[in-house]
Structure 1
Amino acid sequence: MSFSTLALIMAIGLAGPLLAARKSWNIPVVLGELGAGIIFGATGFAIIDASEPTFTFLADVGFAVTMFVAGTHVPVRDPAVRSAIGKGAGRAALVGVLAAMLAVVLAHMFDTGHAALYAVLLASSSAALILPIVDSLSLRGTSILEMTAQVAIADTACIVALPLVIDKDNAVRAAIGAVLVSLCAVALFFALRYLESSGLRKRVHKLSEDRKFAIELRVSLAILFALAAVATTSHVSIMLAGFAAGLAVAGVGEPRRVAKQLFAVNDGFLGPLFFVWLGAKIDLRELVEHPGYIGLGLALGIGAVAVHCVTRLLGQPLPLGALAATQLGVPIAAVTVGTQLNILQPGEPAAIILGALVTMAVAGLAGSLAVRRGLTKV
């Protein structure tokens, strides 16, 4: 990977803020970055090679940081969020049941035998996409907090469940890895709480601020990457590592200075790089060679939106139900692992990505509708 390629990635990544600049459109920044990657990647002009090792590694770093920031954005210390956990869990459970039923139908219709995988895909929610959309559109209120709880629960559950259903031969190893990462995150929470209560964190903060050392940012990234190393060693997605680390930090309370520094690192460099890489990795041309799977992709996307919108029966505003259906990391991980293990049929990986893209397109419309319905008011 050369500096010219990196410059190109950063340049086309500006499509995100350019499309989002017009407030009346209510387009999330990440959709423009994904679109730029698709145009310049495997589906489009193939100028950017998403399989290049350095690019892939930087994208993994960006994914970890994106998930970390997403985790820190979950207001777990807010009493309103804690009270919303019950409703969020109930809605996530309802979606899970409906997703399992629909997955059996789809697996039978397309004769793939992957009902368990489809169930996880249909039930998944992407905190990495949804929370930035919520922030960029300034969505507020109790219903947003309830959706945030639902998304956090669904995202975590599906991240843990994916390796169990897609790599059944190593399900035990994956389960142990998920438990190990979770225990590390819990230990991190208690360590951070001790540093906060002892006053040590405040003394370090003052030193760092006075001397411009950025110690807290360095320590945060070191912890994140250490947890990501534990995840990769134990064959668990870095999604879980990043999100769990972010939740641990959110549980103690993220200092404003660190939040601003992470914003600069993620939103200015690693985040756009990751989303451009993700778009470049997607090869929708496979659907031309296997047109039968276009139906599967559309069914996965529309089905995910449908089962999430059923939560309207439990009092959730329809736009937020549609927004909660947004997928990202789980489909990508499913395609990556499934391709490596050769368990997906030709054209099936592209169908899974197409389904995720459908949910992303709906997310843009749902976010716009949420703004029009006044969900930006507390």
Structure 2
Amino acid sequence: MEQTELVTLLAISICAFICPIASAAIPKKLIPETVFLLIAGMIVGPHVLGIAQIGDAITLLSDLGLGFLFLLAGYEINPKEITGKGGRNAFFTWLVTFGIAVAIIIFIPSFHSNEFGWLAVVIALTTTAFGTLVPILKERNLMQTNIGKLILEYGTWGEICPILAIAFILSTRSTWVTVLVLVVFAAIAIAMAVIPANIRQKSEAFVKLMSDHAETNAQLTVRAVMILLIGLVALSAIFDLDIVLGAFAAGFALRFILPAGNNSLEHKLNGIGYGFFIPLFFIVSGAKIDPSAVGEHPLILILFIVMLLLIRGMPIFVSLSIRQDTKNLDTRSRATVAIYCTTALPLIVAVTNVAVGAGAMTTDTASLLVAAGGITVLIMPLLASLTLYAIDKNSSSTSKKQN
């Protein structure tokens, strides 16, 4: 068993090294590295070459990768931005997408085997992979632009709401028990943010201790973040909540503790996360895709992607068109935000895992949905980059005419 796990880890490490090179070889990085990681995982996985066998040890490492992805995504979010007027519009838009998804999926039996299954598909159709979008937006220097801030608003609620929906809708517990569990979880998560923040503000000796050992072999700041991440992920597992909730909460907590950021710490966390754990998560996700299942039902795959555009993308476009602060945006800019927010992979993996584990969804359907999510990571940023290119070209032409 140990030999198999080590061979699997070696195969994953080689794939993780090759994929960014392949992505960089394509002009303007039109195909994100994530797509190559998914494809590589599918090829070396049990359904194709069979080199990588996903056992308990690899699954644990993959879960940590998912945790790092959402930790770093949560850390990027400014709570003031998502609770302001724009954030409230984004939240209301998510509710609209959820209602549309319910109205449509309940009549399509191909996606589900029972009530639990169709609700899982509904959640999958309303997600935005903000954690996946963050590195893509950074690569394209969009994070601090107006478009990037709008993607953050809609993308954040497109991640938070499905996470909570998984806890409420896909839980086998009664509603009041779920509410109680979430309240207790939130209280502990808040305490894990507030207590260190207060100590940081009031204890100069503690701050000096952390600072003095931040760059030594002790790496105290990194170890503290790992306690925060693993602590909240473990807590979510103990409470039978999806680990994504714990990781996202850890990211929010870290931002609360370090509101002004910490470049050195961020560099180290990016190195650990994007250097090893996060690519491992995507490769393992790709290994779960069964190409034969996808090949047998190509129309369902296409249908799911089209529905993502209509159910998730279109309401965002409409919302941007009627908001007072965004309705003057040109059509291409609104389309760019909507298309980016239709990228939907990591939470699809989480939702399908829950549904398959509960016997509410077949592994073939789960493979289709994960494959569709992987395809959105390819085509949505590609389409969005084309609309942005059209915007830039149009702006250049306009400025030349004015001159």
Q: Which amino acid aligns with 1:61?
A: L
Q: Which residue of 2 aligns with 1:142?
A: 146
**How many angstroms apart in 2 are the aligned matches of 1:339 and 1:281?**
12
**How many angstroms apart in 2 are the aligned matches of 1:9 and 1:323?**
28
Q: Which residue of 2 aligns with 1:98?
A: 100
Is the CA contact 2:90–2:154 (under 8 Å) kept in the aligned structure 1? yes
TM-score with structure 2 length normalisation?
0.82
Decide which structure has the larger Cα Rg and report it.
2
Q: CA deviation at 1:237?
A: 0.9
Q: Which residue of 2 aligns with 1:312?
A: 317
Q: Which amino acid aligns with 1:262?
A: L
Alignment pair present for 1:334 and 2:341: no
In structure 2, the CA distance between the partners of 1:83 and 1:343, relative to structure 1 (3 Å rule), is closer
Which residue, out of 181, 184, 194, partners 1:180? 184
In structure 2, the CA distance between the partners of 1:274 and 1:108, relative to structure 1 (3 Å rule), is closer
In structure 2, the CA distance between the partners of 1:180 and 1:299, relative to structure 1 (3 Å rule), is farther
Alignment pair present for 1:217 and 2:222: yes
In structure 2, the CA distance between the partners of 1:60 and 1:360, relative to structure 1 (3 Å rule), is same
In structure 2, the CA distance between the partners of 1:159 and 1:210, relative to structure 1 (3 Å rule), is closer
Q: Which amino acid aligns with 1:363?
A: M
Which residue, out of 229, 235, 238, partners 2:234? 229
Supply the RMSD in Å over aligned alpha carbons. 2.8
**How many angstroms apart in 2 are the aligned matches of 1:82 and 1:188?**
25
3-state SS of 1:362 partner: helix
With 355-364 and 148-157 compared, the bigger mean Cα shift is at 355-364
1:128-178 Cα offsets, whole Å, 9 max, x none, are: 212222122221312321221222112111112124333445665554443
With 315-324 and 80-89 compared, the bigger mean Cα shift is at 80-89
Which residue, out of 157, 161, 164, partners 2:165? 161
Is the CA contact 1:181–1:231 (under 8 Å) kept in the aligned structure 2? yes
Matches within 5 A, 1:279-298: 279-288=286-295, 291=296, 293-298=297-302
**How many angstroms apart in 1 are the aligned matches of 2:188 and 2:104?**
35
**How many angstroms apart in 2 are the aligned matches of 1:111 and 1:5?**
33
Which residue, out of 359, 362, 365, partners 2:379? 362
Q: CA deviation at 1:360?
A: 2.1
Q: CA deviation at 1:345?
A: 4.1
Q: Which residue of 1 aligns with 2:211?
A: 206
In structure 2, the CA distance between the partners of 1:149 and 1:182, relative to structure 1 (3 Å rule), is farther
Which residue, out of 108, 124, 131, partners 1:128? 131
Gaps of 5+ in 2: 321-332, 396-403
Q: Which residue of 1 aligns with 2:90?
A: 88
Q: Which residue of 2 aligns with 1:322?
A: 339
Q: Which amino acid aligns with 1:356?
A: G
Is the CA contact 2:339–2:381 (under 8 Å) kept in the aligned structure 1? no
Is the CA contact 1:13–1:33 (under 8 Å) kept in the aligned structure 2? yes
Q: CA deviation at 1:239?
A: 0.5
Is the CA contact 1:70–1:132 (under 8 Å) kept in the aligned structure 2? no
Is the CA contact 1:26–1:137 (under 8 Å) kept in the aligned structure 2? no
Alignment pair present for 1:193 and 2:197: yes
Which residue, out of 65, 69, 74, partners 2:72? 69
Q: CA deviation at 1:270?
A: 0.9
3-state SS of 1:295 partner: helix
TM-score with structure 1 length normalisation?
0.87
Alignment pair present for 1:276 and 2:276: no
**How many angstroms apart in 2 are the aligned matches of 1:226 and 1:110?**
34
Q: CA deviation at 1:83?
A: 5.3
**How many angstroms apart in 2 are the aligned matches of 1:96 and 1:133?**
26
With 214-223 and 360-369 compared, the bigger mean Cα shift is at 360-369
Which residue, out of 57, 60, 63, partners 1:57? 60
Q: Percent identity?
A: 16
Q: CA deviation at 1:352?
A: 2.2
